[in-house]
């Protein structure tokens, strides 16, 4: 009998702070702690001592290798394994892991995209340990979270800028908090909880769908209405196989010290959700990347394929990743929590207004940061927020903010005589979550939930941008407030600043139905950007305003931003290209022959009958017309794809794909759907949605 409780194993594969405290000499632990708070750099003897302890700990748990685990600009994570083994005296193997190997890795990283940041003559990239995110063991490998930079120091990954944005927001938020308080705080942490949605389907069927294998989504396929109706019946309870999968996922994540809870999700058939407990953003993003990987690998072990694509099935609700974000001081105060005392509420209003300003000013970048080509199929499809960024504060807070904004004479007098009255939020219910699921950016009681993010995305970019833009607003505010010395003046001035922000940026506030047609018109009237196509949002990263903002906050320089734009455009082109090639291949080699077979079947039947029959004739006419349409659409797409090469310019190619080719992918898909509907089960060469959803 197995007597260990799963919780007993919590964190056994994580080189956590607790473990460090236990196995490191106290002065070494203290030095590490100061380094994580950015108060001092790690020196070599400290690194050596940590490396040794880490290796001993890892080898006791069966690890034989270590890797500098990093987040390249495309893909999610990358790693290169090195073993601890080295030849010792008399050629006996010994294990070694120095502080140098812990802190810095070097390698030919030319296979990772750099957007031109790494000239070919200097292809080396360096990985550096991120000592704020704990190392962990997976499959006998000690994984050390690292950043990745070029020889010249430009960032080649997503973690380095994230850490810079963490510093930026901490710096600015700390300034504001300390303006209001006698007791100084040292840091403010951006805290993030990421809800991850995903689909599970039978692995064998997955392997029969080339579109799923190559592109992550079905390029054709329909959902019979009956299947949708029966959904409740089939998916009301979790099938045993899925239950077993979830238990193993939870167990593995718990061992890695991740507080995970997998859940059944009713939104779509075979769709589920996993939400770990929130954490410091840097760790939360790492954990989310681990979670995505664990989901995929455990799925395979249980005979499933885990689909992380934003819209794996046409016509079925897709998957997102909700980014819950808040700011918490090092002494545990959540700055987005409306307090009980009025002066706390002024601080709360100030932070909320800074966020409102940031989101309105940089809406296009936020839209970009949440997306990829795949997310275009989800946003605005009445299942996820539209491609318009707006903020839902909830009705009660909107009224408070509106009063503050109007500052009409009655209120103004009140504010002047009794500056805190307006900030009395005690009547605002704390929990306003679950009221409005249609908003892309919703205040949910003590945090903001950004719901636009696509399920396949790394949450780094989202949070780099969110942290940076809010830091930028906070910086401006702190500059203004630092002209005042007395707390009463600071409080009064704060409300003035809020009022000015609201007068300029209230257009971004919207607490009603974000899926409605009415909102599209209303948003247009308000002048809010609506960018249905992800591609069109990419250049927002290098808009003059954005570049200045990132440079001011020390997050990216212009060269780094340009490199990222190049890579995103390239990535977009690749995604579309793979879809086109897959669809052309499947059409020619599978769908067209299947249709011909069906035609043959009816032609034979007609012939056998020896006379014409109205049903056969009608059926044959229809099938032949489909054949015509399919053949046409196939050649049109093929030709259009070839014509993209008329231009050499990468951006022009991408825009051409977006305008001309993508609609053709979808119309060819529509024709294939008609084929699926028209032909017999026997002749249809792929598992249908029904087959996939019912095979759990
Ligand atoms: P939902 O109602 O959207 O399902 P949940 O209550 O399940 O939301 O929480 C979603 C996520 O938000 C979880 O990962 C949770 O840990 C996280 N979360 C809770 N409080 C905070 C906070 N203050 N800051 C950031 N994330 C938080
Ligand atoms: Mg949510």
Residue 565: both structure tokens together: 């734009």
pLDDT of residue 411: 47
Q: Which is nearest to 499 in space by CA: 480, 518, 517?
A: 480
Span 542-575, pLDDT tens digits = 999 999 999 999 999 999 999 999 999 999 999 9
At 171, the pLDDT band (50, 70, 90 cuts) reads very high
Residue 409 pLDDT more than 50?
A: no
Q: Ligand 1 atom 13: the closest Cα is on which residue?
A: 193
Look at 127 and 170; give whichever has higher pLDDT: 170
| Average pLDDT of the segment spanning 270-295 | 96
Q: What share of the chain is helix, strand, coil (3-state, %, to 5)?
A: 55, 15, 30
In this structure, which residue's CA is closest to atom 6 in ligand 1?
433
Write out the E strands in 540-636. Answer: none
User: What pLDDT was estimated at residue 410?
Assistant: 45
Render the burial of 319-351: b for 16+ CB within 10 Å, e for the rest: bbbbbbbbbbbeeebbbbbbbeebbbbbbbbbb
pLDDT of residue 437: 76
- Residues 159, 162: Cα–Cα separation, whole Å: 5
CA separation for the pair 433, 448 (Å, rounded)? 10
Residue 70 has pLDDT above 60, yes or no: yes
Average pLDDT, the chain: 89
pLDDT of amino acid 106 = 77
| Distance between Cα 370 and ligand 2 center (Å) | 15
pLDDT digits (tens, 9 = 90+) for 455-508: 999 999 999 999 999 999 999 999 999 999 899 999 999 999 999 999 999 999
Q: What is the pLDDT of residue 420?
A: 47
State yes or no: pLDDT of 233 exceeds 50: no
> What is the SS3 assignment for 282?
helix
Lowest mean pLDDT among 338-352, 362-376, 582-596: 338-352
For residues 410 and 541, which has the higher predicted lDDT (pLDDT)?
Answer: 541
Choosing from 258, 324, 440, 443 the residue with most ligand 1 atoms within 8 A of its CB, the one to mutate for a pocket test is 324
Contact 53, 31 (CB under 8 A): no
**Residue 435: per-residue pLDDT:** 59
pLDDT, average across residues 501-516: 92
Substitution candidate for ligand 1 out of 190, 195, 266, 446 with most atoms within 8 A of CB: 195
Of 194, 277, 278, 288, best ligand 1 pocket probe by most atoms within 8 Å of the beta carbon: 278
How high is the pLDDT of residue 122?
59
Nearest CA to 540 out of 385, 362, 380 is that of 362
Q: Rounded to whole angstroms, how far apart are CA atoms 220 and 444?
A: 37
Residue 452 has pLDDT above 50, yes or no: yes
- Report pLDDT for 395: 85
Q: Whose CA is nearest to atom 4 of ligand 1?
A: 195
pLDDT at 426 over 60: no
Domain 166-556 fold is Creatine Kinase; Chain A, domain 2 (3.30.590)
User: What is the arithmetic mean of pLDDT over 359-365?
Assistant: 98
User: pLDDT, tens digit, for every residue of 6-61?
Assistant: 788 999 999 999 999 999 999 999 999 998 887 777 888 999 999 999 999 999 99
pTM: 0.93
The stretch 59-75 carries a mean pLDDT of 90
pLDDT for the residue 666: 94
Give me the pLDDT at residue 229, please: 59
Lowest-pLDDT range of 11-20, 204-213, 339-348: 339-348
Mean of the pLDDT values across residues 61-87?
Answer: 86
The predicted pLDDT at position 107 comes to 66
- Measure the CA–CA gap between 634 and 219, rounded to whole angstroms: 14
pLDDT of residue 504: 97
Query: Do the interacting molecules here have an ipTM over 0.90?
Result: yes
Tell me which residues have their CB closer than 6 angstroms to ligand 1.
191-193, 195, 275-278, 322, 324-326, 334, 433-434, 446-447, 449
Using the Cα atoms of residue 388, residue 390, residue 394 and residue 396 in order, give the sign of their dihedral: negative
> To the nearest whole percent, how much of the chain has pLDDT over 90?
69
Q: What architecture is domain 6-156?
A: Roll (3.10)
- The residue whose C-alpha atom lies closest to atom 11 belonging to ligand 1 is 193
CA 29, CA 565: separation in Å to the nearest integer? 40
Element containing residue 144 per DSSP (H, E): strand 141-150
Stretch 232-242: mean pLDDT, rounded? 69
Question: Which of 460, 531, 557 is CA-nearest to residue 154?
Answer: 557
* pLDDT reported for residue 3: 62
Fold topology of 571-694: 1.20.120
pLDDT at 344: 67
Q: Residue 60: which H helix or E strand, with range?
A: helix 44-60
Domain boundaries, the chain: 6-156, 166-556, 571-694
Ligand nearest to the CA of 448: 1
């Amino acid at each position: 009998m197995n007597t260990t409780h799963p919780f007993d194993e919590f964190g056994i594969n994580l080189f956590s702070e607790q473990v460090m405290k236990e196995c490191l000499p106290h002065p070494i632990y203290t030095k590490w702690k100061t380094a994580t708070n950015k108060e001092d750099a790690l020196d070599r003897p400290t690194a050596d001592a940590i490396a040794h302890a880490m290796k001993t700990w890892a080898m006791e748990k069966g690890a034989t290798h270590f890797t500098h685990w990093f987040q390249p600009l495309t893909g999610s994570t990358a790693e290169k394994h090195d073993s601890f083994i080295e030849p010792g005296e008399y050629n006996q193997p010994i294990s070694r892991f120095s502080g140098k190997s812990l802190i810095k890795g070097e390698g030919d990283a030319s296979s990772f995209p750099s957007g031109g940041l790494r000239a070919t003559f200097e292809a080396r990239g360096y990985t550096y340990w991120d000592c704020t995110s704990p190392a962990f063991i997976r499959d006998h490998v000690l994984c050390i979270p690292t950043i990745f930079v070029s020889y010249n120091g430009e960032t080649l990954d997503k973690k380095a800028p994230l850490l810079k944005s963490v510093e930026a927001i901490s710096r600015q938020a700390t300034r504001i908090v300390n303006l209001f308080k006698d007791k100084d705080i040292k840091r403010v942490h951006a805290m993030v909880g990421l809800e991850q949605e995903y689909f599970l389907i039978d692995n064998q069927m997955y392997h029969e769908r080339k579109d799923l294998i190559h592109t992550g989504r079905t390029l054709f396929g329909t959902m019979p209405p009956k299947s949708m109706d029966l959904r409740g019946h089939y998916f009301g309870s979790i099938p045993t196989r899925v239950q077993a999968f979830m238990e193993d996922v939870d167990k593995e994540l718990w061992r890695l010290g991740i507080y995970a809870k997998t859940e059944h999700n009713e939104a779509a058939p075979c769709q589920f959700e996993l939400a770990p407990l929130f954490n410091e953003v840097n760790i939360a993003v790492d954990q989310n990347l681990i979670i995505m990987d664990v989901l995929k690998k455990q799925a395979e072990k249980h005979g499933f394929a885990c689909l992380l694509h934003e819209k794996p099935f046409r016509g079925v609700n897709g998957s997102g990743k909700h980014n819950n974000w808040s700011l918490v001081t090092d002494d545990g105060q959540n700055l987005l929590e409306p307090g009980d005392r009025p002066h706390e509420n002024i601080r709360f209003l100030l932070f909320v207004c800074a966020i409102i300003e940031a989101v309105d000013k940089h809406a296009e970048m936020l839209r970009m940061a949440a997306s990829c080509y795949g997310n275009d199929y989800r946003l605005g499809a009445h299942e996820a927020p539209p491609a318009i960024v707006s903020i839902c504060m909830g009705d009660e807070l909107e009224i408070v903010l509106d009063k503050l904004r109007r500052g009409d004479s009655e209120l103004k007098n009140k504010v002047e005589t009794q500056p805190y009255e307006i900030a009395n939020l005690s009547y605002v219910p704390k929990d306003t979550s679950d009221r409005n699921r249609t908003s892309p950016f919703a205040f949910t009681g003590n945090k903001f939930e950004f719901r636009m993010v696509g399920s396949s995305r790394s949450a780094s970019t989202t949070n780099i941008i969110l942290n940076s833009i809010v830091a930028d607003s906070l910086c401006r505010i702190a500059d203004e407030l630092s002209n005042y010395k007395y707390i009463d003046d600071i409080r009064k001035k704060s409300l003035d600043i809020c009022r000015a922000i609201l007068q300029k940026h209230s257009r971004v506030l919207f607490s009603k139905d974000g899926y409605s047609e009415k909102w599209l018109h209303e948003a247009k009237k308000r002048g809010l950007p609506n960018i249905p196509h992800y591609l069109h949002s990419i250049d927002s990263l290098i808009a003059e305003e954005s570049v200045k903002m990132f440079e001011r906050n020390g997050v990216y320089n212009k060269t780094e931003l340009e490199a990222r734009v190049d890579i995103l455009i390239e990535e977009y082109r690749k995604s579309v290209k793979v879809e086109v090639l897959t669809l052309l291949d499947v059409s020619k080699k599978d769908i067209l022959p299947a249709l011909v077979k069906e035609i043959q079947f009816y032609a034979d039947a007609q012939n056998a009958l020896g006379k014409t029959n109205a049903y056969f004739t009608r059926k044959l006419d229809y099938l032949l017309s489909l054949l015509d349409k399919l053949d046409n659409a196939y050649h049109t797409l093929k030709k259009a794809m070839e014509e993209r090469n008329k231009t050499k310019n990468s951006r022009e190619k991408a825009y051409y794909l977006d305008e001309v080719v993508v609609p053709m992918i979808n119309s060819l898909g529509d024709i294939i759907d008609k084929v699926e509907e028209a032909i017999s089960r026997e002749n249809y060469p792929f598992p249908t949605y029904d087959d996939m959803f019912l095979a759990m």
